[in-house]
Amino acid sequence: MLDGYTWDMTGYVQEKGITTWEADRIFQLDPAPPEMVLNDYILAAIEKKNLLYFSFFLHH
């Protein structure tokens, strides 16, 4: 099931840009996405036409 994934952005938004810490963690999802071989995320995004898999790729 792919529903229910969100970006935990608590403390990330600032008035002037983002910090290095934020940039390092900006693609961390909560909960963590399912484990797959890294390239399989891209293949799944293309095959299923669902960019959520690309978000999973960026998370890892």
Q: Domain range spanning residue 36?
A: 27-60
Would you say residue 18 lies in a domain? Answer: no
How many domains, in total, are found in the chain? 1
Within a domain: 59: yes
Convert the pLDDT of each residue in 4-59 to its tens digit.
Answer: 666 665 655 555 677 777 777 777 787 888 899 999 999 999 999 888 888 889 88
Output phi, psi for 44, to 5 deg. Answer: -65, -40
Specify the pTM: 0.57
The predicted structure's pLDDT at residue 36: 92
**CA dist 39 → 11, 13, 15, 44, 46 (Å):** 31, 30, 36, 9, 11
User: Per the structure block, which two tokens stand in for 4?
Assistant: 């229910």
pLDDT of residue 1: 42
